[in-house]
Amino acid sequence: MDNLEDLKIVAEQWSKQGLEFVQKIPPPQLYTAIGVLLLATIWLLSIRLFRRTKSDTVLLSGLSGSGKTVLFYQLRDGSSHQGAVTSMEPNEGTFVLHNENNTKKGKVKPVHLIDVPGHSRLISKLEEYLPRAAAVVFVVDALEFLPNIRAASEYLYDILTNASVIKNKTPVLLCCNKTDKVTAHTKEFIRKQMEKEIDKLRVSRSAISTADIANDFTLGIEGEVFSFSHCHNKVTVAEASGLTGETDQVQEFIREHVKP
């Protein structure tokens, strides 16, 4: 009890001294100090809020028939759903990746995955989702790559020159799907061929996608042959097979940008 009384007396003395000190500070300086303290508090709270609301959305994009929907189901529940079918509406879900299901609940952050339809009439839907994407997985059919190289490159070009992707430096994974097939092209071949095709698009389009950002923006480095390493955002290349469940590289990419 004596110790408690002593602490109470000391606290009262400090409080009194603190009040006297504050009263001696000229009002302009006092108001300035309070203002700085408030601004610092707001800034710290904003940082914490931003960290808490960091996007957990990952987009699966690519041409129709590239295997996006099969990958979606493999990532969700480890099943190909017998090859699935071409999606005419977005497949969307928030879940822990299939290979993480054995992890203790609450220890792994769920991913909000959206499989955007690749049909030419529905590709515009992608623009609705890009502003809130933490990452984009662009799926290419490695088996039927050459017949679709032009269309796939144009689609990827539009993503790489999208205002939101540039502003947020949204990472993109070029996912070469169906690489389990003997006649599938390698990821190195696909990367080089798409870089060449995008280089041609830079010339034909002269700048960027219509009405996206300032006209003075160009993809890549002027005067140099285009390479994905020239993009404002990080572009990486991986292999996968939705039908056989080989999705490790895709899952690693997702977890790199949506932390567990």
Q: Where are the beta strands (DSSP E) in the chain?
A: 57-62, 91-95, 111-115, 133-141, 172-177, 235-239
Domain closes at, from 35, 50, 65: 50
Between CA 53 and CA 48 the distance in angstroms is 9
- 156 contacts 194 by C-beta, under 8 angstroms: yes
Q: Are residues 176 and 76 in the same domain?
A: yes
Q: Are residues 63 and 45 in the same domain?
A: no
Between CA 165 and CA 84 the distance in angstroms is 29
Please tell me the pTM assigned to this model.
0.75
DSSP bridge partners of 246: 241
Q: Are residues 42 and 155 in the same domain?
A: no
Q: Are residues 46 and 85 in the same domain?
A: no
Write out the chain's pLDDT in tens, 260 residues.
Answer: 556 666 667 666 666 666 666 566 777 765 676 666 677 666 665 555 444 457 899 999 999 999 999 999 999 988 877 655 666 678 899 999 988 876 655 678 899 999 998 876 667 788 889 999 999 999 999 999 999 999 999 999 999 999 999 999 999 999 999 999 999 999 999 999 999 999 999 888 764 444 444 444 578 888 899 999 999 899 999 999 988 989 999 999 999 999 87
Find how far residue 248's CA is from the centre of its chain.
Answer: 17
Spatial CB neighbours of 1, under 8 Å, sequence gap ≥ 6: none
Q: Are residues 22 and 127 in the same domain?
A: no
Q: Are residues 120 and 185 in the same domain?
A: yes
One-letter amino acid at 167 equals: K
One-letter amino acid at 112 equals: H
Q: Are residues 166 and 234 in the same domain?
A: yes
| Run of H or E including 21 | helix 2-24
Q: Are residues 46 and 61 in the same domain?
A: no
Among the listed residues 241, 235, 229, the one whose alpha carbon sits nearest the alpha carbon of residue 253: 235
Q: Are residues 116 and 179 in the same domain?
A: yes
Domain closes at, from 29, 50, 71: 50
Q: Are residues 91 and 13 in the same domain?
A: no
Q: What angle do CA 196, 199, 202 make, to 5 degrees?
A: 155
Helices 149-160 + 187-205 axis angle, to 10: 70
CATH number assigned to the domain comprising residue 194: 3.40.50.300
Between CA 201 and CA 93 the distance in angstroms is 34
Between CA 228 and CA 157 the distance in angstroms is 11
Q: Are residues 29 and 119 in the same domain?
A: no
Range of the domain at 73: 57-257
Structural domains in the chain (count): 2
Q: Are residues 220 and 123 in the same domain?
A: yes
